[in-house]
Structure 1
Amino acid sequence: MNTDGEFDYDVTVVGGGPAGLTSALYATRLGLDTLVVNRGGGRAAMMRDTHNVIGVTEETSGNEFLQTAQEQVQSYGGEYRRGFVEDVEALGDGGADEAPDGFRVDTGDAELTTRRVVLATGFSDGRPDPPLPRTGMGLHYCLHCDAYMFVDESVYVMGTDDAAAHVAMIMLNFTDEVDVLLRGAEPEWSDDTAELLANHPIDVIPEDVTGMEKDDDGWLESFEFEDGTVREYKGGFPMYGSEYHAELADALGLEREDSGEVAVDDHGRTSVDGAYAVGDLTPGHNQIPVAMGEGAKCGIAIHMDLRAFPRSSEKIAELGPVDESEVPAISPELMATAVTHEGHAAGPRTEAETVEGEATADD
C-alpha cells in the first residue's frame, strides 16, 4: 500500500524488459511503492549474448541479465509478479481535458489501483517463414547490436522493402559479401532505393530458400535455394517489420505515431496524464542502453510528479505547514527495506534495530 493509503501502489509498470525494470528500479529507490507485472518473454529474453552494455560481459544471456535486474528491483522493496495485464482503465469522472485520478489495472485474477502506470510492453519482430537458423546463431534482429559479429563474413538480409535494402547497404561497412534474399516475393522498395542498390555491390536473390546447413554448434553455414544453388552465410537480418504490443495503450486512448509507436516526450509522458511509455513501444533506437536511459528518466519524472515535498505555496495555503509527523514521506515497508539494505549509508540494520527506530519515530 502506498503512503496515502488510497491506492494499492504509487507506480505500476507493465512489462519486465530493460526499460520497464529500470523505471521500476528508479521509482522504488526514489521512495515510490512500485509493482512490476511481467508476462515473460520479450526481445531481451531472446538474447544468447549481451552486446553494447557497459559493465555487462558478452557471455551474459538475456535471461541472466533480466534475472539480475528483477532481483535488484526486489532488493530495494519493489514488487515483481509474473502475469498478464488484461486491461488498464483511467479512474475519475474525467472529462476529455481532465487528468485521471489514477488507474485501475486488471491482471485477470485481481484488480489493483495505482497512481501512475508505465507501459513497457515492447514489440515483436516480424518473423520470416522457415527454414531458418536459430535466433542468435545466424538469425539476428538488431544491426546495431550484431553487425560487429559479421565483420568480413558473408551476410544476408531478408526482406523486400526500403528498410531491407538500406540495411543491406549499411552492412557493406562491415563486410564485402552481402545478399538481399527476396524469398520468392517481388521487391517493394522505391525507385530511388532501387537505383541506390544497383550502385552498391549487393546481390539480390529472387528465389525462395528451400533448405539450410548448420555447423556442429548449430550456427548457420549456408542456404539452398529453389534453383538448386547453395550460398554460404554466417548470419543475417530479417526485415519484416514490427508488431507493437499496444493494446493497453489503445485502451487508454494514447496517441500513437504514424509508424505505430506510442507518442511520448523526453521523459516517457504520453498524451494521457499519469500514463507513461518506455522502451521498444516508443520511437527511437531499440537498444538496451537506450531503453535503460528511457526507464531512468521516466522513473525520475514520476518521482518529481508524485513526491510530497517541497510542499507548494498553494498546498501550504490549503494544508498548512509541513508537520514533523508527516515526514519522511516514504511508506513503512520501503523504509524497513531501505535501512536494512547493504547500500544504506549507515550500513544494514538488524530487524530489532529497525523496529526500535520505528517505535522511537512513532513516539
Structure 2
Amino acid sequence: MSDTDEREYEVIVVGGGPAGLQTALYTTRLGHDTVVIDRGGGRAAMMLDTHNVVGVTEDVSGNEFLETGREQIRSYGGEYVRGAVTDVDRRADGRFDVAANDETFVADRVVLAVGFTDVRPDPPLPRTGKGLHYCLHCDAYMFIDRPVYVMGHGDSAAFVAMIMLNFTDEVDILLRGEDPQWSDETDERLRAHPIDVVESEISGMRKSDDGWLEAFEFEDAVGPRPTSSRTESGDGSVRQYRGGFPMYGSEYNSGLAEKVGADLNDDGTVAVDDHGRTSVDGVFAVGDFTPGHNQVPVAMGEGAKAGLAVHMELREFPRSLDDIEENGPVSPDEIPGLGGRIREAAAEFEEARAPPIPETAAEPTAGDDD
C-alpha cells in the first residue's frame, strides 16, 4: 500500500462502545483529528434498556445510546468507521499503523477499547435482556421480589446467588448437569444461605407473549421450594423465573494488545495506569478490557480520563522552555494549534446552534399612527 492510501489522524480509537466513544468525544472536542474504528456489537449494543446512566432514561436502548454518541462525535469533526482492526504496528517515526478494511490508518496515539466477550451458556436460553442478563449491578433492581436463577458452577456463580438475596428471597443456582467447582469455604458459606442448588439440566423453557422468560423445564424433577409456589408441573420439573445471570466467565479481546506488546494482567485484562496508559508508549486502553467494574458510567469515566491524557500529550501549546530555546517563540502562523478538519466542523457546529437573526421591524411610513 502506498503512502497516498494511508488515512492520517492524531488519534485512533479501536472500539465503539461507551469507553471508546467517550474517549473520542474528548479528543475530538479538544482539537485532535480522531477516528473510531468499530466492528460493531459488544455488551452495550445488547442492552434493551439503559440502566444507571444519569440523564439517559430506561426507554433508550443500547443501540440508540451508542448511535447518539456516534452522532455527537461526527458533529464535532471526528470520524466513525465500521470495520474490524486486524493489526497494530509501531512505525519507525513513532506513530502507529492500524490495519482495518484493507486500509491503513496512521495516528500518533492508539486507544484500545475492545472489551470482552461473555461466555454464553448452551441453549435453551431466553433472549438477552428478557430473562438472560449479564450485569448484576445494572439489572438486580429489575428482580426485586421476583424469582431469579444463576447459571454456573464456580465461585462467581455462588457469590452472585448470595448477593441476589439482597433483592429477592427466591434464588436458585442452576448447575445444568455439571458438578460444582466452588471452593470448600464458598460451599460452607453457600449452605448457610437459603439458596436452592438445582443439579438437573434444562430441557426447555416457557416464555410470555412479550418474549420474557416465565419458567425453565428440567430433565428431572427438582421439587417445590419451601418459600415459593414456583413449581408448575405435577412432577415438579418446572420452576418459574423472572430472569437470571449466567456466570461462565469472560474472554478478553487481548489480541491487539499482545501484538503491540502491551503488558497483560493474569486475568487477561491489560495493565494500565490511572489514565489508561499501557506499558507501550502511545497506546492506551479503556473500558471493560481494563481491570475494575464493567459498568457503562465507569467505562465512560475511563474514556474521559484517557482522552484528557492524550490531549495533554499531543497539544501544541504551551511549548516547553527547551523547545522555545531551541526553536524560538511561537509564531502567529502556528496558531491555532489544531487541524483544519476540526476547525471547519466547529464553525458548522456553532452556525447550526446560532439563534436565528430577528427580522428588522418595518420603518413607519408618513401618515402612520403611533
**What TM-score results when the alignment is normalised by the length of structure 1?**
0.90
Q: For residue 83 of structure 2, what is the aligned residue in structure 1?
A: 83
Report 1:107-146 matches (<5 A).
107-146=100-139
Identity in percent? 64
Report 1:40-189 matches (<5 A).
40-92=40-92, 101-189=94-182
Q: For residue 217 of structure 2, what is the aligned residue in structure 1?
A: 224
C-alpha separation in 2, matches of 1:232 and 1:225? 11
- Per-residue Cα deviation, 1:53-92 (whole angstroms, up to 9, x for no partner): 0000001000000000000000000011111111000122
Distance 1:131 1:343, change over 3 A: farther
CA contact (8 A) 1:207 1:227 kept: yes
Q: For residue 19 of structure 1, what is the aligned residue in structure 2?
A: 19
Runs of 4 or more, structure 1, over 6 Å off, are: none
C-alpha separation in 1, matches of 2:98 and 2:349? 30
Report 1:284-363 matches (<5 A).
284-342=292-350, 347=354
Distance 1:343 1:123, change over 3 A: farther
Distance 1:324 1:143, change over 3 A: same
**Unmatched 5+ stretches in structure 1:** 1-5, 93-99, 350-363
What is the Cα deviation at residue 127 of structure 1? 0.4
CA contact (8 A) 2:7 2:104 kept: no
CA contact (8 A) 1:338 1:344 kept: no
Q: Structure 2 counterpart of 1:330, which letter?
A: L
C-alpha separation in 1, matches of 2:270 and 2:351? 36
What is the Cα deviation at residue 318 of structure 1? 1.8
Distance 1:7 1:230, change over 3 A: closer
**What TM-score results when the alignment is normalised by the length of structure 2?**
0.89
Over the residues paired in the alignment, what is the CA RMSD in angstroms? 1.7
Q: For residue 201 of structure 1, what is the aligned residue in structure 2?
A: 194
Which has the higher Rg, Structure 1 or Structure 2? 2
What is the Cα deviation at residue 7 of structure 1? 7.9
CA contact (8 A) 1:341 1:348 kept: no
Q: For residue 352 of structure 1, what is the aligned residue in structure 2?
A: none
**Unmatched 5+ stretches in structure 2:** 1-5, 222-236, 357-370
C-alpha separation in 1, matches of 2:115 and 2:62? 15
**Number of positions where the alignment pairs a residue of Structure 1 with one of Structure 2:** 337
Instruction: Please give the secondary structure, in 2, of the residue aligned with 1:160.
Output: coil
- Per-residue Cα deviation, 1:82-126 (whole angstroms, up to 9, x for no partner): 11111000122xxxxxxx711111114111211000000111101
